[in-house]
Amino acid sequence: MLQLRRVLRLSWAGQRWHHCAAAEVKNEPILEFKHGSPERAALQKALQDLKGKTEEIPCVVGGEEVWTKDVRYQLSPFNHSHKVAKYCYADKELLNKAINAALSARKEWDLRPVEDRAQIFFKAADLLSGPRRAEILAKTMIGQGKTVIQAEIDAAAELIDFFRFNAKYALQLQHEQLISVPISTNSMVYRGLEGFVAAVSPFNFTAIGGNLAGAPALMGNVVLWKPSDTAMLSNYAVYKILQESGLPPNIIQFVPADGPVFGDTVTSSEHLSGINFTGSVPTFKRLWKQVSENLERYRTFPRLAGECGGKNFHFVHKSADVESAVNGAIRSAFEYSGQKCSACSRLYAPDSLWPQIKARLLEEHGKIKVGNPADDFSAFTSAVIDEKAFRRIQGWIKHAQESPSLTILAGGKCDNSAGYFVEPTIIESKDPKDKILSEEIFGPVLTVYVYPENKYKEVLQLIDNTSPYALTGAEFAQDKNVVAEATAVLRNACGNFYINDKSTGAVVAQQPFGGSRASGTNDKPGGPHYILRWTSPQVIKETHVPLNEWSYPYMQ
Ligand code: NAD
């Protein structure tokens, strides 16, 4: 009977797998939101629905909503008088409860066929693509200060792609099998990790939160997801969509918490099997250190995946197409107020082209509108995420004002009266080693270093050596020999390298993302290898013939 049930279950799952394989997974199209389009009308309605509203967000532990007394608020970055979410922090005790609840669900979830698990993510992607698209976009725009296009490429397109492509890769992986011979059959079983995975997400991409928690869950893991304080509204919507798509209770525990409290609690559990982190270097280093200090207590070696910051460069050669270099710099440095880990924040321009580049940069800079992206769709960018970010970026502008080697060419004004607004700022540095060219700012600040055009080889070395990061970089050049030379010299300077294109805008399955050095463990979310981090394969050999003797023929 048990066997029959198993066969039935497998054949049912098998049918659905055929269904998925037939529907080929493609990148989600980016909608245009033109005047009169249905997507624009739906988005405007969703934005209207959020006006003045404060959503109450619980912790979800053990399949139940838990409202603790430690209440916090998420503010809209461009209108900080609007509390977009009221949420509460889980304390150490509740986090430990979440760990136990997750562990209680692990075995059954891990034994579910991958086809079943994949279906949940295909369904969530369909909801995001259709009926829930406007809601997730509006929540990302109002909560995280994104414009229409920035919300669309993140909370719709990228998140949908993460869910669909990861599911597709997981299904393909299962079919990646070992060699069997007539006397024995070998198989690879892709198990989840034994224990729980802690997913810690940043504020700047709704999609990243969904992927950090979702990818391990897809692979049979149970997860504690700690969203960022400043992305709570959109992240909770993602969580609800996963639940509505059939994610059983207890597979992902939704636990807003103080960062260090969460980090301290998960790293001190003997059951920690992995950390899936995206955020800043100091936070990731702290977590890594805690894991190493607690190494003796773990039942398995925790997998540590961390995608961190960047100090991304654009290298412009004298053979470059100036318009591409200028427009690429504007988009990469200033879209989403430079709050992308891939944002260009240092530009190296040859002296021969600089007058032309500078004039065009300043001309285009003058056209940039910074504003309220929900009320005014013509705003190109908006406020930075919160007061802390505002003060930090203001500190960098002050540094530029006070340093003799730095000149502010455009922007530089900051105003936090209604929202956390920082003007897109262009700075020229005469000193290639100033800290403004090596440290991450994570704001709308672009620094240019002008080099003698015949010294470009030295400049390539300089780019490679200036910063501890190695996330993204771009070169603008038409000379094919220079393209090849720069590609070779900058081989380790970034994990995503662009030729005649800007350093931002990686697309799932087209440009899987991540960098090395201080930028992280480079596990390339969005690519086929990523899910391998969240499985601990078991190999099973089954022999079909009896073993009749123990000695070997040559011994006789
Ligand atoms: P952050 O490090 O401040 O926070 C990230 C997350 O870690 C948040 O959820 C935060 O609450 C949590 N946290 C803080 N202290 C913690 C602790 N001690 N233990 C456990 N969790 C803790 O980063 P952020 O400001 O949210 O994000 C910006 C950073 O993320 C930038 O450096 C950016 O470059 C990086 N980033 C990188 C990528 C990438 O793919 N490489 C993508 C997005 C963002």
Catalytic (active site) residue 414: no
Q: What Rg, from alpha-carbon coordinates, does the chain have?
A: 25
Give 302's contacts (C-beta < 8 A, 6+ positions apart): 195, 272, 273, 274, 275, 291
Residue 178 has pLDDT above 80, yes or no: yes
Q: How far is the CA of 339 from the centre of ligand 1 (A)?
A: 12
Indicate if the alpha-carbon torsion angle 369, 374, 378, 381 is positive or negative: positive
Q: Is 228 in the pocket of ligand 1 (CB under 6 A)?
A: yes
Q: Is 421 in the pocket of ligand 1 (CB under 6 A)?
A: no
Q: Is 371 in the pocket of ligand 1 (CB under 6 A)?
A: no
CA distances from 375 to 38, 251, 252, 372, 378 (A): 18, 38, 35, 6, 9
Catalytic member of 341, 344, 414, 494: 341
Catalytic member of 307, 423, 428, 440: 307
The encoded tokens of residue 179 equal 């060699």
Give 92's contacts (C-beta < 8 A, 6+ positions apart): 261, 264, 265
Q: What's the CA angle centered on 231, arms 149 and 271, to 5 degrees?
A: 130
The position carrying tokens 């011979």 is 181
Residue nearest (by alpha carbon) to ligand 1 atom 22: 259
The CA distance from 209 to 256, in Å, is 12
Q: How far is the CA of 277 from the centre of ligand 1 (A)?
A: 7
Q: What is the pLDDT of residue 12?
A: 39
The position carrying tokens 């224990």 is 195
Would you say 444 and 411 are in contact if contact means Cβ atoms under 8 Å apart? yes
pTM: 0.95
Name the least confident of 15-19, 144-148, 506-510, 524-528: 15-19
Would you say 399 and 388 are in contact if contact means Cβ atoms under 8 Å apart? no
Residue nearest (by alpha carbon) to ligand 1 atom 26: 202
Closest C-alpha to 129, from 25, 15, 252, 248: 25
Q: How far is the CA of 325 from the centre of ligand 1 (A)?
A: 30
| Predicted confidence (pLDDT) per residue in 432-442, tens digit | 999 999 999 99
Give 48's contacts (C-beta < 8 A, 6+ positions apart): none
The band of 313, judged by pLDDT with boundaries at 50, 70 and 90, is very high
Q: What is the pLDDT of residue 23?
A: 55
Catalytic (active site) residue 341: yes
Q: Is 280 in the pocket of ligand 1 (CB under 6 A)?
A: yes
Q: What is the pLDDT of residue 414?
A: 98
Q: How far is the CA of 215 from the centre of ligand 1 (A)?
A: 18
Q: What's the CA angle centered on 505, arms 203 and 481, to 5 degrees?
A: 140
Q: Is 512 in the pocket of ligand 1 (CB under 6 A)?
A: no
Q: How far is the CA of 471 from the centre of ligand 1 (A)?
A: 15
Q: How far is the CA of 132 from the centre of ligand 1 (A)?
A: 26
Q: Which of 95, 153, 200 to mutate to test the pocket of ligand 1 (most atoms within 8 A of CB)?
A: 200
Ranges of beta strands (E only) in 52-127 are 55-57, 59-61, 64-66, 71-76, 79-88
Q: Is 333 in the pocket of ligand 1 (CB under 6 A)?
A: no
Residue 65 has pLDDT above 60, yes or no: yes
Q: How far is the CA of 321 from the centre of ligand 1 (A)?
A: 35
Residue nearest (by alpha carbon) to ligand 1 atom 11: 259
Parallel, antiparallel, or unpaired for β 445-451 and 303-307?
Answer: unpaired
| Predicted confidence (pLDDT) per residue in 261-277, tens digit | 999 999 999 999 999 99
Domains of the chain: 2-308+522-539 (3.40.605.10), 312-499 (3.40.309.10)
Ranges of beta strands (E only) in 418-504 are 421-422, 425-429, 445-451, 469-470, 472-476, 496-499
Q: Is 204 in the pocket of ligand 1 (CB under 6 A)?
A: yes
Parallel, antiparallel, or unpaired for β 414-415 and 55-57?
Answer: unpaired
DSSP string computed for 170-210: HHHHHH-----BTTEEEEEEEEPPSSEEEEE--SS-HHHHH
Q: Is 226 in the pocket of ligand 1 (CB under 6 A)?
A: yes
Q: What is the mean pLDDT of residues 143-154?
A: 98
CA distances from 293 to 264, 286, 289, 417 (A): 11, 11, 6, 44
The CA distance from 200 to 220, in Å, is 18
| Predicted confidence (pLDDT) per residue in 387-430, tens digit | 999 999 999 999 999 999 999 999 999 999 999 999 999 999 99
